[in-house]
Amino acid sequence: MSLLRRRKHPFNESFRKPEKEHENGDFSYESKRKKIPYEHEEERPLSKWSCFDTWCWLIGCVCVTWWFILFLYNAMPASFPKYVTEVITGPLPDPPGVKLRKLGLTAKHPVVFVPAAVTGGLELWEGRKCAQGLFRKRLWGGTYGDVYKRPQCWVEHMSLDNETGMDPCGIRVRPISGLVTADGFGSGCFVWTTLVSNLARIGYEEKTMFMAAYDWRLSFQNTQVRDQTLSRIKNNIELMVATSGGQKVVIIPHSTGALFFLHFMKWVEAPPPMGGGGGPYWCSKHIKAVVNIAAPFLGVPKAIPLFLSAESKDISLVRAIAPGFFENDIFQPQILQHVMRLSHSWDSTVSMIPRGGDTIWGGLDWSPEEGYSCDQKREMKNSTLVTNPARAKSAISLTRSANFGRIVSFGKDVAEAPSNDIDRIDFKGAVKGHRAENRTCRDLWTEYNGMGFEGTKAVADYKTYTAESIVELLHFVAPKMMARSTAHFSYGIADNMDDPKYKHYKYWSNPLETTLPNAPEMEIFSFYGTGLLTERAYIYKLSPTAECHIPFQIDSSTNDEETCLKGGVYSVDGDGTVPVLSAGFMCAKAWHGKTKFNPSGIRTYLREYRHSPPTTLLEGRGTLSCAHVDIMRNFALIEDVIRIAAGASGEELGGNRVHSNIFKWSEKINLQL
């Protein structure tokens, strides 16, 4: 009986409460007894819930929920999302096209779109063995699904020849024609779609709209040499004017498309073989207005770190958050080196180097934006203090400004030091060394492989670089790229526009070395965003030396809120990519009235759009955004564009509309007009 009482059913044993562990880590006698397994207990082991199980369960729940939401979204009526948005945010405004159609506006002038670099689609027509199955597939401006599977092959086909700037042997990548080429850049990123759809609401269709697609990787003149792109644009414009009853066209370039079309206006009137042979009045006969959107007429400082270290403000912030991420042997050769390989082979990126030298961008001790504060409230407060003589001294101390003219400085102390205290050693006479042979380095190819440690040290010893010395620096660190660049682009200021050398095409895209056409009835607009911090100057340092690593990098550890320094990047007012100075100076001063750059007195207008971020997630990127690309969806800008296309003049539009200090900054630039 005692034996029967002691032996209990395992079912009851499983419900017994666990024994507590003693302080010494040992278990009680009863606990030890529990651990003695019975024969039938081995057949039913207790399962444990691991961390991996938790993650699998969580991911499964997220996926099921996501697919369920997608199912509901596709099953609901098309008007339901709009109804929900209106309930939360209030009634949505009419799109500009609907609004203006109600006011009686209709299509009048044919419209020509000129896309920016990067936003135009490119497709493969001939490739190497690794690109099998990609014939006429988008290599740029699509979903990139096939690209992710073979990134090395994609880099190989998107790169151009380092010597000629043209197609590598056995590769042909060509621009996609039609409006579809620049509708959107990648999945969910729309560029021209909103503008095109609103123009269609007042009567425009494909025969009255033309997308001037071009291979934006090439230099502007080489688009004509290889693809006859400039001739195609000329023929299409002439056809549109002829078939619309003689109505002149409205040109709408975006970003670098403005530089491309500036080149076109000189090419079309120049005599062959260099030009299109249209005669001195071709633009006057065929163009009503040129509406430039976010145009970097004078280049962008953002191009400099792209060439020096394949970086930007975003990469600098990643370095600040996760130090060492891009220095990892896994990531750096796969990302930054290949970005540098692409950017050094694309001549279009070279066209973005700042133009005008120290006269425009400032020197060691001055810049047009001197005194700019990224905190608008503090800026207003300081301006109030200055008006009070008793507190003027304290105001000066509060308005400490960055030396924006020093576009690249090696060290924060160098960027802030008086110019007389900077001991600079000229780098141009330095003897370049050679790094050890390394197969991986040769495969990646950057021009730093031939610069050596001596050349790297010489660059850092020069301490700081302004807009003029930056061009000399690029000749030193990237001689092959700049050899092509000097054959197709120029970055100076013309003293005498009658000099025969300015008839060469290398000057045609530089507004400071070429003249506008003889078309006094034509109008030129500059539409761009303000209110976003935009890259202007950089703090650099030497990166850890390694065979394949880029020797320079932005010093992301440097910050100074008072001088708009964050993550090694100084910022000024702009649209996030193009500073106000580059987008607005030409129309604000250099082209205003009759000048040596505008001999016929073409009327110019500035229209600035103040950035306003979306208030809710339902607005997406928002219809008030003025970021460099998102401005193409800005309702106020689209309305202005439609009014011009429907026949309005700049005066009827309201003339200039300015939110920034562009006129104040332009007056500081001593340029003989």
Closest CA to 516 of 339, 263, 147: 263
Contact assessment for residue 607 and residue 643, using Cβ atoms and an 8 Å cutoff: no
Q: What gap in Å lies between CA 126 and CA 122, rounded to an integer? A: 12
Q: What gap in Å lies between CA 587 and CA 590, rounded to an integer? A: 6
Residue 497 amino acid letter: M
Closest CA to 526 of 594, 602, 605: 605
What is the three-class DSSP state of 565? strand
In sequence order, what DSSP letters do the residues of 97-120 get, joined into one string? HHHHHHTT----S-EEEEPPTTTS
Cis peptide before 273 (omega within 30 of 0): yes
Total count of residues recorded for the chain? 673
Q: What gap in Å lies between CA 589 and CA 356, rounded to an integer? A: 14
291 forms beta bridges with 525
Phi, psi of 264 (to 5 degrees): -60, -40
What is the DSSP secondary structure assignment for residue 618, as one 8-state letter?
G
Single out the catalytic residue among 347, 555, 575, 630.
Answer: 575
**Does 286 qualify as catalytic in the annotation?**
no
Single out the catalytic residue among 183, 219, 254, 255.
Answer: 255
Strands 532-542 and 552-554: antiparallel
End-to-end CA distance of the chain: 118
Q: What gap in Å lies between CA 518 and CA 520, rounded to an integer? A: 6
Q: Give the count of alpha carbons within 13 A of 502, CB side only.
A: 18
Phi, psi of 270 (to 5 degrees): -75, 150
Tokens 């697609």 appear where?
213
Contact assessment for residue 501 and residue 597, using Cβ atoms and an 8 Å cutoff: no
Phi, psi of 580 (to 5 degrees): -55, -40
Q: What gap in Å lies between CA 617 and CA 175, rounded to an integer? A: 34
Structure tokens belonging to residue 591: 């082209």
13 forms beta bridges with none
Structure tokens belonging to residue 420: 């007389």
Buried b (16+ CB within 10 A) or exposed e, 198-225: bbebbebeeebbbbbbbbbbbbbbbbbe
Structure tokens belonging to residue 647: 């026949």
Contact assessment for residue 196 and residue 641, using Cβ atoms and an 8 Å cutoff: no
Contact assessment for residue 317 and residue 280, using Cβ atoms and an 8 Å cutoff: no
In sequence order, what DSSP letters do the residues of 328-387 get, joined into one string? STTTGGGTHHHHHHHHHH-HHHHTTS--SHHHHH--SS--TTTT--S-HHHHHHHHHHHT
Contact assessment for residue 216 and residue 165, using Cβ atoms and an 8 Å cutoff: no
Tokens 């109600």 appear where?
102
Single out the catalytic residue among 348, 628, 630, 640.
Answer: 628
What is the three-class DSSP state of 90? coil
Closest CA to 551 of 412, 427, 458: 458
Structure tokens belonging to residue 583: 């987008």
Structure tokens belonging to residue 572: 């000024």
**Does 255 qualify as catalytic in the annotation?**
yes
Structure tokens belonging to residue 47: 């399962």
What is the DSSP secondary structure assignment for residue 586, as one 8-state letter?
I
Residue 15 amino acid letter: F
Catalytic machinery residues: 255, 575, 628
